A and B are shown apart, each in its own frame.
Chain A
Amino acid sequence: MSGIILPGADGMLFQRDRDWHPPADTPGYKSSTFRAPRHSLLALGPTRSEMTGPTFGHEKLGELDNDLIRNFSQDGNEAIGQRMIVYGQVLDENARPVPDTLVEYWQANAGGRYRHKKEGYLAALDPNFGGFGRSITDENGFYHFRTVKPGAYPWPNGGNDWRPAHIHFSVFGHAFAQRLITQMYFEGDPMIWQCPIVATIPDKAAIDQLIARLDRHNTTPMDALAYRFDIVLRGRRSTMFENKLEGN
């Protein structure tokens, strides 16, 4: 409950590199057209309101929260699809682990079908797959979960656009200014390079950072493949304070 860093030069975050992130208006991704602000963003620099953020130490996660193969099971059976472990480390830009932070993830099932009322794709729902999970990172910033590999799916953007297989991620960090949502893709998927949403990111090296690597060392033999996906949040400029930024 202690350790709020007061704003000031020492506590500031590295400025967000908005040429590395996707811009707001990306015509190839049509939904952005009316949802992109036309005014430029007002450069604020984080104040105390953004240098603090929610913590989730009081949340007790369920035993199956990070097991998408079983956490929505209706009949005791497991989800259908290619079994996987997805794991990785949440780091900041100084390459320091980000411990005790909430990581949420969601995805389509093995056939590319989302469990959502607005989704009308003809691929079938899997009665034992919900597609949602969450973890809190350990003291070294690591998270992991079990799932099945999501399928690609078509979407109404161009005449024949398909999303690559992907998993959505939401990460908190320890400051509201670190809040991030992104998507994880799979090594070697040729569909990554034809996707208008991936292409909202201007730099190929930045896209590469969103591609999870097959990790045979952490594969469970005769059970599940492993993919590693590290996530980098904004770092603070200071190395002077070791206190963790905390909210409640």
Chain B
Amino acid sequence: MKLHPVPVLKESPSQTAGPYVHIGMTPNFCGITGVIDADPGISMLTADAEGERIIITGRVIDGAGAPVNDAVLELWQADSKGSFVAPMAPNSKSVPAFTGWGRQPTQPDGTYRFETIKPGRVDGPDGKPMAPHVSLWIVARGINIGLQTRLYFADEAEANAADFVLNKIMDPRRRETLIARREEGPVPRYVLDIHLQGERETVFFDI
């Protein structure tokens, strides 16, 4: 029998990112220019990235229906082949063609927006591929510990119906809170509003 170790330290407790989170996470966005060239995660891909270009967007809304205009969202996803190990861009010694990771602040109307590629499928804990999805992490003033959720794609209905995580949500109506609708355009858009609280509250995970 193999014994698992007992943790010897406690995790550092979380605290809110506060209203001025942008100073540390998106300094150029809030006017602190000249320290670093570009805010981390603002751009996720180079022209060499393989896969379908998409825009993931929506609004973050609080329990009173007001836009959350001071949040920062991070996105983590597989590449178009379902891999989290991104190859370097052929024309660059140091930049991955696709990082899989993005970070964006919300705008005054609560909108977030990522320019990325549609992820491939990744095997789930049951050994079957999960439906295409991106992981999201949301921090802001008033959020004491980062909220973790996922965004799925409405045009993947068959895969969504068999997804390991979506099927853990007992109430099928709540599954809908994670599924982004597709809007056609020069670059297809997937739109999903994130409700922190209330009637249409998004499903958040303890992962």
Contacts and interface: CB of A to CB of B under 8 A. Distances in A.
Interface of A: 1, 4, 6-8, 14-18, 20-24, 26, 29, 31-39, 41-50, 52-54, 56, 58-60, 62, 64-65, 71-72, 91-95, 102, 104-107, 114-119, 130-134, 168, 170, 176-177, 179-183, 197-198, 200-201, 203, 205-207, 209-210, 231-235, 237-240, 246-248
B204 A117 contact: no
Nearest to A54: B101
Given A106-B24, A119-B20, A248-B86, A8 B125 contact: yes
B14 A182 contact: yes
A165 B90 CA distance: 47
Contacts of A54: 41, 76, 99-101
B84 A247 contact: yes
Contacts of A209: 10, 12-13
B51 interface: no
B9 A232 contact: yes
Contacts of B2: 240
Contacts of A201: 13, 15
Contacts of B56: none
Contacts of A42: 168-169, 203-206
A26 B31 CA distance: 31
Contacts of A114: 20, 23
Contact of A21 (B14, B36, B164): B14
Contacts of A37: 147, 196-197, 201-202, 204
Contacts of A14: 7, 11
B94 A50 contact: no
Contacts of B198: 38
A14 B11 CA distance: 10
Interface in B111-155: 122-125, 130, 133, 135, 137, 139-148, 150
A239 B201 CA distance: 38
Most buried by B among A23, A31, A32, A46: A31
A248 B46 CA distance: 14
A15 B10 CA distance: 11
B84 A177 contact: no
Contact of A247 (B19, B66, B100, B201): B100
Listed from nearest, the 10 A-B pairs whose CB atoms lie closest are A106-B24, A31-B142, A248-B86, A54-B101, A35-B142, A93-B7, A22-B144, A34-B63, A41-B206, A52-B84
20 contacts: A4-B85, A15-B206, A24-B143, A26-B144, A36-B63, A36-B142, A44-B206, A47-B122, A49-B77, A50-B207, A116-B20, A131-B24, A168-B15, A182-B13, A197-B16, A232-B12, A233-B12, A239-B5, A240-B2, A247-B101
Contact of B143 (A16, A32, A240, A248): A32
Given A1-B85, A26-B144, 19 more contacts: A8-B125, A18-B206, A23-B144, A29-B142, A33-B142, A35-B140, A35-B196, A36-B144, A44-B207, A49-B76, A53-B76, A102-B40, A107-B23, A131-B23, A132-B27, A180-B11, A180-B146, A181-B14, A232-B9
Contacts of B88: 58
Contacts of B139: 181
Contact of A181 (B17, B36, B122, B133): B17
